[in-house]
Amino acid sequence: QQPVQSPQAVILREGEDAVINCSSSKALYSVHWYRQKHGEAPVFLMILLKGGEQKGHEKISASFNEKKQQSSLYLTASQLSYSGTYFCGAQFSGGYNKLIFGAGTRLAVHP
Amino acid sequence: KAGVTQTPRYLIKTRGQQVTLSCSPISGHRSVSWYQQTPGQGLQFLFEYFSETQRNKGNFPGRFSGRQFSNSRSEMNVSTLELGDSALYLCASSLGLAGVGEETQYFGPGTRLLVL
């Protein structure tokens, strides 16, 4: 039931791009993206709703593919501050309100 | 506006003991969710409280319990601690039920529990 995130880890140089995927075997209603830096609380990035539009937040954007039951987080022209662990939280269709989080994707951006 | 606060920030307990963790949500938020975070496991959902009622529950044993007070503050209790309970326990608050529509959860800094 836990959504599957890929890749598990990414290493980038500043300015490079990355894509993090969050896939579900169950129908998704919404996907919530968070970033957690070491020793800190997860910070909300954005929500993607089923049937909703692609969202953007500075150079970080995300999409929701209903056919694939997958959300993708796009990080463009990465900055050192993007380093951290990215989690997707899935809300499944069918009236279940709780968020089930993936295991996370660790992103390290180096100069 | 003050964020979500959790106390204590660090705890060391021994097997068999019990522990109570506290979470104060953002002012005006009525929902509090609790998560257990361990390396490699991500965030495991424990339960959610809304208006003093448990609305959702994850797959944890009955040793894990919680409650919410009329001011929306929440406590989580773990009885008969086991070594495997060592983890970071995060609480998150939201205005309404988490995961409904575009309802956003805001996380606290967590309580790091070490069971020896």
Question: Quick check: A6 pLDDT over 90?
Answer: yes
pLDDT computed for residue B104 by the predictor? 85
In chain A, which residue's Cα lies nearest the Cα of B94? A44
Residues forming a β-bridge with B66: B76
B90, B99, B106 ranked by CB distance to A44: nearest: B106
B41, B56, B99 ranked by CB distance to A30: nearest: B99
Q: Which chain A residues are closer than 8 Å to B92 by Cβ?
A: 42
In chain A, which residue's Cα lies nearest the Cα of B31? A98
Which amino acid would we find at residue B116? L
Smallest Cα–Cα separation from B54: which of B45, B66, B44, B70?
B66
Confirm or reject contact between A101 and chain B (CB < 8 A): yes
Name the DSSP class of B30: -
At B65-92, the pLDDT tens digits run 999 999 999 999 999 999 999 999 999 9
* Structural contact between residues B47 and B34, judged by C-beta atoms closer than 8 angstroms: yes
DSSP string of B44-104? EEEEEEETTEEEEE-S--TTEEEEE-TTS-EEEEE-S--GGG-EEEEEEEESSSTTSTT--
**Cβ separation A101–B102 shorter than 8 A:** no
* Structural contact between residues A34 and A11, judged by C-beta atoms closer than 8 angstroms: no
Distance CA B26, CA B53 (A): 18
- Chain B nearest-CA distance from A2, in A, is 9
Distance CA B19, CA B66 (A): 11
In chain A, which residue's Cα lies nearest the Cα of B99? A97
CB atoms within 10 A of CB A24: 22
Confirm or reject contact between A47 and chain B (CB < 8 A): yes
Mean predicted lDDT score pLDDT of chain B: 92
At B24-71, the pLDDT tens digits run 999 999 999 999 999 867 889 999 999 999 988 888 999 999 999 999
- In the block, tokens 């506290």 appear at B22
The pairing of beta strand A9-13 with beta strand A105-110? parallel
Confirm or reject contact between A40 and chain B (CB < 8 A): yes
At A39-94, the pLDDT tens digits run 888 999 988 887 766 666 678 999 988 888 999 999 999 999 999 999 999 988 76
